[in-house]
Amino acid sequence: MGKIAKIHEMLTTGQCSCAELTKSYLKAIESDNGELNAYVCVTGDEAMKTAEAVDKKIAAGETIGLLEGVPMALKDNMSTKGIDTTCCSKILTGYKPIFDATVWELLKEQNAVMLGKTNMDEFAMGSSCENSYFGGAANPVDTNHVAGGSSGGAASAVGGNIAAYGLGSDTGGSIRQPASFCGVVGLKPTYGAVSRYGLIAYASSLDQIGPVTSSVEDAALVFDAISKPDKRDSTCKGSASPTFDKLGSDIKGMKIGIAREYLDGVRDDVKEAVLAAAELYKGMGAEIVYFDLPILKFALPVYYIIACAEASSNLGRYDGIRYGYKTEHYTGTHDMICRTRSEGFGEEVKRRILLGTYVLSAGYYDAYYKKAQDLRGTIIKAFNNAFEQCDVILAPTVPMTAFEKGHATSDPVETYLTDICTVPVNIAGLPGVSVPCGFNQKGMPIGMQLIGKSFDEATILNAAYHYQQAAPDKFKETKWGVKL
């Protein structure tokens, strides 16, 4: 039974009230967030109001939905009306949106109890969460290590048991990588399955919102709740069908593909854990198919060119005129904008804006951006061909386990390389789920990812569910937070 189902049972059988449950989570946040730094904004009053509304429904004998009254968290790049939404950047200090993101609208309608907004790399640019204006989130397994990025706060909160689930965003691995580092489940849905309306953009053709949870069942439940069509996002179709009801379907005869290139340069402990998972699937009656996917070597440069180009365009709106941070001393409008952006953006964001502006500039557009878009089409075709040989693809989520704090600044190139296994999924717009599959010698979690065909979340979640059932010891509770 997943955490959400367990909480639902507790509420409906009277084991505790929603107000009591919410208070216990808020108390755990007060106690543990100082060390984890998972939350950058705690919304205790709003959480208690919703909890009391749920208790009234239960007292009146009304049926409540599975997500009603369940304490959760939102990444700080999702718009929440009247509540700080800063993208963990100085330049958005004090910004309170006048509308809600679609995903929060959907969850709010179901009386989800929002505990607060979670930490992230500034504007979702980073792989460690250390690029946050508020300082990085810590890994709940070992707080000397990073939680991963950019949705590090969501993974830290779920792994640290100070949220039942969280919503993150994934542009190049930003849900799956921190999920892998923190030993939790992270689902990056198909591009267009979940509305991006109200998600503050990093790279619009790559960004996608998805759940971070402690179990596959919970990931399916949350995905089903947020994957609805939305006219305000022209790219959003919603999901093909519900996924939760399909968990447990037989996987005998399922073809699980492993691209040899996904194992290149991966640390031995990670490779061993992923191949052990493949053997476990084999024992369940699945067929393991090895194949070549040489185009993968171009995925990382293609990603950084496209993502930075789109970031350069999207972040052009932050000028200190309409909202957010504004420099105190300036001589004119041009000087004010230059100073505001120089002071308001962090180093990594400035680096990516400069790179993106360069590849879009006259004389370089064809050499870089156009070529990257052409290669993107080739990568999409290569994945389509691969899925003619298999039903899902099994790969490491990250080539390594969580690194120690400070490593990202001492070795930025290796930090960029942590995205090497995750970015192809975003480039091709495919769904991918990261699932814990083992631990290294220091006890840090290892994650594997299952990649599916477009809008086929049901298949990858079902495959992940079977693994979870067969290897429950890989899904370990940490020492933190609320004990259910």
What are the pLDDT digits (tens) for 219-229? 999 999 999 99
Q: Say yes or no to pLDDT of 276 above 80.
A: yes
Active site residues: 75, 150, 174
Please state, in angstroms and rounded to a whole number, the distance separating the CA atoms of residues 408 and 147.
Answer: 12
- For residue 167, give the CATH number of its domain: 3.90.1300.10
Give the pLDDT of residue 479: 82
Decide if 183 is inside a domain: yes
Burial of 363 (0-12, 13-18, 19+ CB in 10 A): exposed
Q: In what order do the strands lie in the sheet with 287-291?
A: 39-42, 113-118, 71-75, 165-170, 208-213, 185-188, 432-439, 445-451, 392-396, 255-259, 287-291
- What's the domain range around 132? 3-250+432-474
Q: Which residue has the tokens 């990257």?
A: 372
Q: Is the pLDDT of residue 363 over 80?
A: yes
Give the pLDDT band (50/70/90) at residue 410: low
| The pLDDT of residue 407 is above 80 | no
In a domain, 379, yes or no: no
Pairing of strands 392-396, 445-451: antiparallel
d(CA 147, CA 403): 9
Q: How do residues 40-55 score in pLDDT, each as one tens digit?
A: 999 999 999 999 999 9
Answer yes or no: is 358 within a domain. no
User: Is residue 275 scored above 80 in pLDDT?
Assistant: yes
pLDDT digits (tens, 9 = 90+) for 202-215: 999 999 999 999 99
Q: To the nearest whole number, what is the mean pLDDT of the chain?
A: 96
pLDDT in tens, 295-348: 999 999 999 999 999 999 999 999 999 889 999 999 999 999 999 999 999 999
Please say if the pLDDT value at position 414 is more than 80: no
Token duo for residue 169:
């965003």
pLDDT greater than 80 at residue 149: yes
355 belongs to a structural domain: no
**366 domain residue, yes or no:** no
Q: Which of 224, 230, 199 is nearest to 211 (CA)?
A: 224
Q: Is residue 466 part of a domain?
A: yes
Q: Judge whether 13 lies within some domain.
A: yes
CB 429 within 8 A of CB 242: no
Asked if residue 223 is part of any domain, the answer here is yes
Has residue 136 got a pLDDT over 90?
yes
Binned at pLDDT 50, 70 and 90, residue 408 comes out as: low
Residue 1, pLDDT > 90, answer no
d(CA 130, CA 144): 13
**In terms of pLDDT, which residue wins out, 480 or 12?**
12
Q: Averaged over 455-462, what is the pLDDT? A: 98
CA distance 90 to 66: 37
Our count of domains for the chain comes to 1
Query: What is the pLDDT at residue 44?
Result: 98
> Is the per-residue pLDDT at 420 higher than 90?
yes
- Who's near 354: CB < 8 A, 6+ residues apart? 312
